[in-house]
Amino acid sequence: MRRLAFAVVACLLALFASAFVLTSARWSGHFTLRIILKLPDDVDRDSIGYVECWNENEARWLCEDNSELNHGFTPAYRSDPDADLVSVSSGGSSDVLGFSDSYHQPAYLVLQYRYATDDGSGSPHRVCVPIPTGRGDRTTSLDLTHGGG
């Protein structure tokens, strides 16, 4: 009888310990990317939009696409004369002990803009903007005054 009680207690302890060790949390959120912009005077500031790309191939494809498609491009949530603040999605998972934490974020933003014209026409131009790695809010810069797009 003692052996049976010991075996039951050992099994229960193993069950609780494994539940504690194997528990993981998944989360999703966002961080703010501040993009310091140097733009030529003839860029229509209101035309600037951004879209997230999770890898370089996706970003490169979107930059080389000459279509007029604007789907997915959204303006910065705040624009200052010299910078845009863009909300970038992120996510991850972590176990109780922190041995297998993971963190995921897009690798690039594609910035789309148009040059100012009298009639509001003009084809869009796109530039790949690498997103700095790390955690929390970040800053990067982009200079389009030297033919960057």
Band (pLDDT 50/70/90 cuts) for residue 98 is low
Sign of the Cα pseudo-torsion (56, 57, 59, 63, in order): positive
Could you read off the pLDDT of 43-55 as tens digits, one per residue? 999 999 999 999 9
Domains of the chain, by residue range, sit at: 26-143
Does the structure show a pLDDT above 90 at 8? Answer: no
Band (pLDDT 50/70/90 cuts) for residue 101 is confident
Does the structure show a pLDDT above 60 at 61? Answer: yes
The whole-number pLDDT of residue 65 equals 76
The whole-number pLDDT of residue 16 equals 64
Cα 121 from Cα 56, distance rounded (Å): 29
Does the structure show a pLDDT above 90 at 56? Answer: yes
Task: Calculate what percentage of the chain has a pLDDT beyond 70.
Answer: 85
The whole-number pLDDT of residue 2 equals 77
Q: pTM surpassing 0.85? A: no
Does the structure show a pLDDT above 90 at 1? Answer: no
Does the structure show a pLDDT above 60 at 19? Answer: no
Of residues 23 and 61, which shows the higher confidence score? 61
